């Protein structure tokens, strides 16, 4: 009996082992996944690890793997652990390499001098990144690597990359999350080497023009060309068309107005402006086929020269130039690496394997800049490509048979079907990340993409390539005019679809654990080939279930105590804030609550210049902007939120959150469940990291802020 029970246990294990061995060609595809696990582990730590932890763990696991090289499964487990350790080490090393000073608090206005390293156009004006900064009469100033400033003037000054400028500005440290679990700009700024942000209060004066015959870095020279080309395109084509052309040809989307960007988002077409695999592939592909076609027209070359390899090399060079000119974003890097490997395979007379190309591209991106793992561009671009490769890997032979010996009509229907399938798969693959980061989904994105993607691929981008080639001769207008017709058509599609009823569905924020379950389930489903891959559907279903079980906070207050908002049981949001509607804090709160616009109801929330009183769940909440409001709040309110220090007891309050709590814990979320108040700070889970500026934050600060006697 015992033997039969043991055999029953062995049979599933044996089947699982056989299925695993049958997929050994797919094992290398999991290398970037284990690297990502190590990177995620580094970012999840509550404090910065010792410098030797990453390299020490990698060395120990490498030695153990060598000693276990004759033991199959043990070796595989150790190699997986080694990949995790390498990802951890890469993130740790990257964080140390980008380290630089961060301003301690708000400064200014101060007289600031710096050299322009980057110029970005925004709907409100310009945004400058300054290096080698100095502050007048501040010998103790430790200049960050970069200072980012916004300039909001009706008439913007004419500036260039490399110019040494002087202006009066207000500086502050990069902001932390606007709510617990929200996007951490301070962390992103750390890895971009931005140690101070702010805004100019005077127009910058150029005190030393850039030396046009040479710049401090090659990147600055690229920045000059990029900024000049974007300005030229916006001047050559009117209004939004010029702004979109500049986005497609230089990656500078800043001049596109907010209504147009909102229409593109609501129609599911914003990806057309995010330079990614579509654009790099089109530029490289059109260069490859056009050059090969032209060379084939010359019989001596077509018969004797390797014109296919010449075309591949030229396409690779052109795609590299396009990547540099458009800002070298993560999707562009991934797409160029995949295109580069494909063109290299063509030049070496090898057959390219798509999933392996994607895996190596992911490895290079993650090891080069591990922080990319946390970016929405990395997540969405790789998710889309993984889904597309998986679906076409299975349908490829069927589509080849369908295409063979077919007429024009059936080939056209095959193309339209492929566009529809590509759009559907990419939309499904990227939807968890769009919901997690943006809390919105475009309901008619499939219809919009079915019209806009062919327009972009077959009309807009070929004319963009022609414009690049005609620029040195000054004839680019011959290509820009027909290109503008295609852009107008794409914008018309976006505005039309965005105006349809129910074009956008908003959802509340959900946890990173739900997203992780969906991601791992999707990878399991796509990377394996056997029937056991369908187990990934269970993990994806678990992720969806966790996403629907989210517990949104009832009240949010920002880290400076300037704004407070409450979510009512029916999902409506009340706001007490001096901010305008487009402020990033309020926009983040509304987005994470899945709300479109705040409402006003004086019966529930009453405000004056001293503060507000909110009636919530039969209890009173006092929000004090001024110390004079505290006397009434502490006598009547069950929860007191104060932008000023509370230096006396609040008899009526269960919990008090004052200026000192906000200073330590950042933005605060309050949940009121069954009469019990719980408080969560944005800094609670950020820990003591180089980018988090803990300001006295301790792990013991978690939980309720202070319980009033």
Q: Where are the domains of the chain?
A: 29-97, 107-213, 232-506, 512-548, 555-701
Alpha helices, H only, 408-511: 408-438, 445-455, 461-470, 477-498
Phi/psi for 574 (5° steps) reads -105, 140
> pLDDT at residue 272 above 80?
yes
179 close to 589: Cβ distance less than 8 angstroms:
yes
Which candidate, 391, 263, 274, 389, places its Cα nearest to that of 338? 389
79 close to 65: Cβ distance less than 8 angstroms:
yes
Angle at which helices 354-368 and 31-44 cross, to 10°: 30
For 83, the enclosing helix (H) or strand (E) is: helix 72-97
Beta bridge partners of 116: 130
Place of tokens 């049981």: 569
SS3 call for 604: coil
Question: According to the model, what pLDDT value does residue 80 have?
Answer: 95
> pLDDT at residue 327 above 60?
yes
> pLDDT at residue 581 above 70?
no
CB atoms within 10 A of CB 292: 18
Which candidate, 129, 319, 327, places its Cα nearest to that of 225? 327
Architecture of domain 107-213: Beta Barrel (2.40)
**Beta strand pairing call for 194-200 and 164-172:** antiparallel
Which candidate, 130, 194, 141, 135, places its Cα nearest to that of 163? 130
DSSP 8-state assignment for residue 458: I
Beta bridge partners of 125: 122
Q: 361 versus 198: which is more confidently predicted? A: 198
pLDDT in tens, 19-75: 788 888 899 999 999 999 999 999 999 889 999 999 999 999 999 999 988 887 889
pLDDT in tens, 376-431: 888 988 898 899 889 888 777 776 666 665 666 666 777 677 777 887 888 889 88
pLDDT band at 584; cut points 50, 70, 90: confident
Q: Is 199 exposed, middle or buried (0-12, 13-18, 19+ CB in 10 A)?
A: middle
Lowest mean pLDDT among 124-128, 333-337, 505-509: 333-337
Question: According to the model, what pLDDT value does residue 91 have?
Answer: 96
Residue 248 to residue 326: CA distance in whole angstroms: 8
Angle at which helices 307-325 and 277-296 cross, to 10°: 150
What mean pLDDT value characterizes the chain?
85
Which candidate, 259, 242, 254, places its Cα nearest to that of 483? 242
Kindly give, in sequence order, each residue whose CB lies less than 8 Å from that of residue 469, ignoring residues fewer than 6 positions away. Answer: none
Q: What is the mean pLDDT of residues 245-271?
A: 88
pLDDT band at 519; cut points 50, 70, 90: very high
SS3 call for 600: coil
Alpha helices, H only, 348-407: 354-368, 376-403
> pLDDT at residue 537 above 80?
yes
pLDDT in tens, 445-475: 888 988 898 888 889 999 999 999 999 898 9
Question: According to the model, what pLDDT value does residue 403 have?
Answer: 63
pLDDT in tens, 613-662: 888 767 888 998 888 888 888 888 889 999 899 888 888 888 999 999 99
Question: According to the model, what pLDDT value does residue 11 have?
Answer: 67
Check residue 193 and give left, alpha or beta (phi > 0: left; psi -120 to 50: alpha): left
Whether the CA torsion 146, 688, 588, 332 is positive or negative: it is positive
533 close to 525: Cβ distance less than 8 angstroms:
yes
What is the Cα Rg of the chain in Å? Answer: 28
Residue 428 to residue 693: CA distance in whole angstroms: 38
CB atoms within 10 A of CB 75: 16
> 142: which 2 tokens?
């430790």
What DSSP line would sit under 22-33, residue for residue?
Answer: HTGGGGGGGHHH
Q: 2 versus 363: which is more confidently predicted? A: 363
Question: According to the model, what pLDDT value does residue 496 have?
Answer: 95
Which candidate, 140, 86, 143, places its Cα nearest to that of 113? 143
Q: Which residues of 397-434 are buried (b: 16+ CB within 10 A; e: fewer)?
A: eeeeeeeeeeeeeeeeeeeeeebeebbbbbbebbbbbb
Beta bridge partners of 508: none
């Amino acid at each position: 009996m015992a033997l039969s029970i043991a055999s029953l246990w062995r049979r599933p294990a044996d089947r699982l082992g056989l299925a695993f061995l049958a997929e050994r060609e797919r094992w290398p595809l999991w290398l970037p996944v284990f690297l990502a696990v190590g990177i995620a582990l580094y970012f999840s730590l509550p404090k910065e690890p010792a410098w030797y932890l990453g390299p020490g763990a990698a060395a120990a696991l490498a030695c153990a793997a060598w000693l276990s090289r004759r033991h199959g499964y043990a070796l595989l487990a150790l190699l997986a652990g080694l990949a995790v350790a390498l990802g951890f080490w890469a993130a740790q090393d990257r964080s140390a390499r980008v380290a630089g000073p961060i301003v301690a608090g708000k400064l200014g206005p101060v007289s600031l001098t710096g050299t322009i390293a980057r110029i970005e156009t925004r709907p409100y004006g310009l945004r400058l990144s300054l290096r080698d900064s100095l502050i007048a009469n501040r010998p103790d100033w430790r200049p960050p690597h970069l200072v980012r400033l916004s300039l909001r003037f009706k008439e913007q000054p004419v500036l260039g990359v490399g110019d040494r400028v002087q202006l009066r500005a207000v500086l502050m440290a990069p902001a932390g999350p606007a709510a617990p679990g929200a996007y951490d700009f301070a962390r992103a700024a750390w890895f971009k080497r931005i140690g101070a942000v702010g805004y100019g209060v005077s127009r910058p004066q150029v005190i030393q023009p850039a030396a046009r015959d040479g710049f401090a870095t090659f990147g600055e020279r690229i920045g000059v060309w990029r900024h000049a080309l974007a300005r030229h395109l916006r001047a050559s084509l009117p209004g939004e068309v010029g702004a979109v052309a500049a986005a497609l040809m230089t990656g500078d989307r800043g001049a596109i107005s907010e209504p147009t960007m909102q229409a593109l988002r609501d129609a599911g077409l914003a990806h057309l402006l995010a330079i990614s695999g579509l654009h790099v592939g089109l530029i490289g592909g059109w260069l490859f086929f056009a050059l090969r076609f032209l060379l084939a027209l010359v019989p001596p070359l077509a018969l004797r020269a390797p014109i296919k390899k010449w075309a591949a090399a030229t396409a690779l060079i052109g795609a590299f130039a396009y990547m540099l000119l458009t800002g070298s974003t993560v999707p562009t890097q991934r797409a160029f690496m995949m295109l580069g490997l494909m063109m290299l395979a063509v030049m070496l007379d090898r057959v390219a394997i798509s999933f392996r190309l994607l895996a190596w591209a992911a490895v290079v991106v993650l090891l080069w800049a591990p922080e990319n793992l946390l970016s929405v561009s990395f997540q969405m671009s790789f998710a889309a490509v993984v889904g597309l490769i998986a679906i076409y890997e299975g349908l490829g032979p069927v589509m080849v048979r369908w295409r063979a010996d077919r007429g024009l009509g059936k080939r056209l229907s095959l193309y339209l079907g492929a566009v529809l399938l590509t759009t559907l798969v990419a939309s499904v693959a990227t939807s968890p990340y769009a919901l997690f980061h943006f809390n919105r989904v475009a309901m008619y994105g499939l219809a919009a993409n079915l019209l806009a993607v062919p327009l972009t691929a077959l009309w807009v981008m070929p004319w963009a390539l022609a414009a690049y080639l005609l620029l040195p001769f000054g004839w680019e207008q011959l290509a820009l005019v027909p290109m503008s017709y295609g852009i107008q058509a794409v914008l018309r599609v976006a505005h039309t679809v965005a105006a349809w009823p129910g074009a956008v569905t908003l959802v509340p924020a959900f946890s990173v654990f739900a997203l992780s379950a969906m991601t791992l389930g999707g990878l399991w489903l796509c990377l394996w080939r056997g029937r056991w891959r369908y187990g990934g559907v269970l993990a994806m279903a678990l992720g969806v279930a966790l996403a629907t079980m989210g517990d949104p906070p009832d009240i949010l207050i920002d880290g400076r105590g300037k704004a407070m908002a409450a979510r009512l049981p029916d999902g409506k949001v009340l706001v007490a804030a001096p901010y305008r509607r487009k402020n990033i804090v309020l926009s983040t709160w509304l987005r994470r609550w899945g709300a479109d616009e705040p409402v006003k109801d004086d019966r529930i929330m009453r405000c004056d210049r001293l503060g507000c009183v909110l009636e919530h769940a039969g209890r009173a909440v006092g929000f004090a902007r001024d110390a004079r409001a505290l006397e009434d709040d502490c006598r009547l309110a069950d929860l007191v939120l104060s932008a000023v220090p509370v230096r006396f007891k609040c008899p009526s309050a269960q919990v008090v959150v004052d200026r000192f709590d906000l200073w330590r814990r950042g933005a605060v979320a309050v949940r009121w469940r069954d009469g019990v108040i719980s408080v969560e700070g944005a800094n609670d889970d950020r820990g003591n990291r180089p980018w988090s500026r803990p300001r006295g934050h301790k792990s013991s600060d978690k939980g309720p802020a202070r319980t009033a006697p």
